[in-house]
A and B are shown apart, each in its own frame.
Chain A
Amino acid sequence: MKFVDEFREPEVITKTAQEIRRLADPHRHYRIMEVCGGHTHAIYRFGLKDLLPENIELIHGPGCPVCVLPMGRIDDGLSIAQQPDVIFAAFGDMMRVPGTQGSPLEHKARGMDVRIVYSPSDALKLAQKSPDKHVMFFAIGFETTAPSTALTLVRAKAQGVHNFSVFCNHVTIIPAIRAILDSPDMRIDAFIGPGHVSTVIGCRPYEWIAQNENKPVAVSGFEPLDILQSIVMVLRQLKDCEAKIENQYKRVVPWEGNRAALRAMADVFELRPYFEWRGLGFISQSALRIRDNYAEWDSERRFQVPGVRVTDPKAAQCGEVLKGVLKPHQCKLFGKECTPEHPVGALMVSSEGSCAAYFNYEHRKTAMVNSIVSVA
């Protein structure tokens, strides 16, 4: 099977899986949350769950920006683009995310000017090339992406591009983790911290999780071995009754983060008092809005925005899945009405969404994984 060859250093993987089994107390049930959607994808893709003992449960966290965006914000963005001479520009991930009246792609089929861009700076260039139009960039993402949007706004202002604005949906990871820890139906023993968000924010912002909540955190890379090593790190801490922040992804993540990126964000954005997250509800100071000195480039101030609030389709249980209360396949629509080809909820759209990841990979058992389990 091709998949077998895809693991690098299979013997190290085997040893790490054995170490996990050695560290895990068989009388205890562990709930470890991987915060980042990229980790969720990797976990399913590589079948890592099958390398873990049954008493280690991986809970998929809120770190998929497309998945946590409430449908009302998609409707709001599309309503701006319905105004004359507005071009709707967004990353490809956004294109199939359903709004009440359909996805951006479906709006395009009905005549809306919708463009895929791979960088916010390309949305700015599109504005420069289309002086008779207004380009609205639908910005999503955590701290990994927000600095790039911020610098694009700095460039728009410096270059005097006035037919460009950003519909800002950037969110921040720490308040979401706090909301999860505050949620009465969530019990998490430890966290696998996001890799690329941490290249920007560093490791320090997680320290309260260890100090105040007494939960271990390991900031992790995305390879199978990275994720397994991070699980070893948090299990070892739990065994030793410790709680600290460990940086498994040192080769990319500096402890202090990227100061230039943090400065760009601070110059352009400020915290919103609150923001709605799909599945988690309203969370205080959990999202970014554009500061007054960039008001001209803020779509929400340049255009009438209806401020739509939409409840998710009743039958879809995205909220419960997003919080880890339900597994993807336990949702009534999973694999029936809701599939990656015809997503009802956002978790089925993005490859980082736990439903899409579960749908695509869960049944993919491999000889490699089985052999490791049998020797471990």
Chain B
Amino acid sequence: MCLAIPGHVVELFPDQPNAALIDVVGVRRRVDLGLLQDDMPIKGDWVLIHVGFAMSKISEKDAIDQMETLRMLGEAELAMQEVQGYGSEDELISETAEPTPLEESAKGSVS
């Protein structure tokens, strides 16, 4: 319930101002930005995601640390399951091929 999942804003949608494509350890999903409308993230920003909504902007270092915390808490797998489940009613958007800093930090956690 209290999972806060770090993600990297990789794409904004001009026709959907309240949504962004977010990358979490290589899994890309559409996330709602409505709760950050006072301080909208831009491409390249890092955010904490909770139940499919970006809750706060964070630094890249904190994003990597947060993924490490999830791994230490034994919750990285659960977090990835949650992210993969986002938009289960959508078409699967895409999986990225390039390793990201988060992916590096989460290695070995989802095994």
Chain A residues with a Cβ under 8 A of chain B: 6-8, 36-38, 41-42, 45-46, 64-66, 91, 93, 116-122, 125-126, 128-129, 140-141, 144-145, 147-148, 151, 154, 195-196, 199-200, 221-224, 251-252, 254, 258-261, 264, 350-352
Contact = CB atoms under 8 A, between A and B. Distances in A.
Contact of A145 (B51, B65, B86): B51
Contacts of B51: 91, 118-120, 141, 145, 148
Contacts of A200: 55
A259 B37 CA distance: 9
Q: How large is the interface on B (under 10, 10 to 19, 20 to 34, 35 or more residues)?
A: 35 or more
A28 to B, nearest CB: 31
What does DSSP make chain A's interface, helix, strand, loop or mixed? helix
B104 interface: no
Contacts of A36: 2
Contacts of A65: 1
30 contacts: A6-B72, A7-B72, A36-B2, A45-B72, A65-B1, A118-B86, A119-B32, A122-B88, A141-B1, A144-B1, A145-B51, A151-B34, A151-B35, A151-B53, A196-B2, A196-B50, A199-B48, A199-B56, A200-B55, A221-B69, A223-B65, A223-B72, A252-B48, A252-B56, A252-B62, A258-B36, A258-B55, A259-B38, A261-B55, A352-B2
Contacts of B35: 147-148, 151, 258, 260-261, 264
A217 B85 CA distance: 36
A196 B73 contact: no
A81 B110 CA distance: 35
B12 interface: no
Nearest to B62: A251
Contacts of B73: 41-42, 45, 222
B74 to A, nearest CB: 7
Interface string B33-75: 0111110000000001011110110110010010011011111
B1 A145 contact: yes
A199 B36 CA distance: 12
B1 A148 contact: no
A45 to B, nearest CB: 6
A148 B2 contact: no
B98 interface: no
Contacts of B58: 251-252
Contacts of A195: 2
Given A118-B51, A118-B82, A200-B55, A126 B1 contact: no
B86 A122 contact: yes
A148 B90 CA distance: 18
B17 interface: no
A125 B82 contact: no
A241 to B, nearest CB: 33
A30 B73 CA distance: 26
B15 interface: no
Residue from the set A8, A93, A252, A350 with the largest chain B CB neighbour count within 10 Å? A252
Given A119-B86, A147-B35, A260-B36, A66 B1 contact: yes
A144 B89 contact: no
B20 to A, nearest CB: 13
A353 to B, nearest CB: 10
B4 A120 contact: no
Given A41-B73, A260-B36, A260-B37, A144 B2 contact: yes
Nearest to A125: B89
Nearest to A8: B68
A118 B85 contact: yes
Interface string B1-16: 1101000000000000
Nearest to B19: A121
Contact of A45 (B34, B74, B83, B86): B74
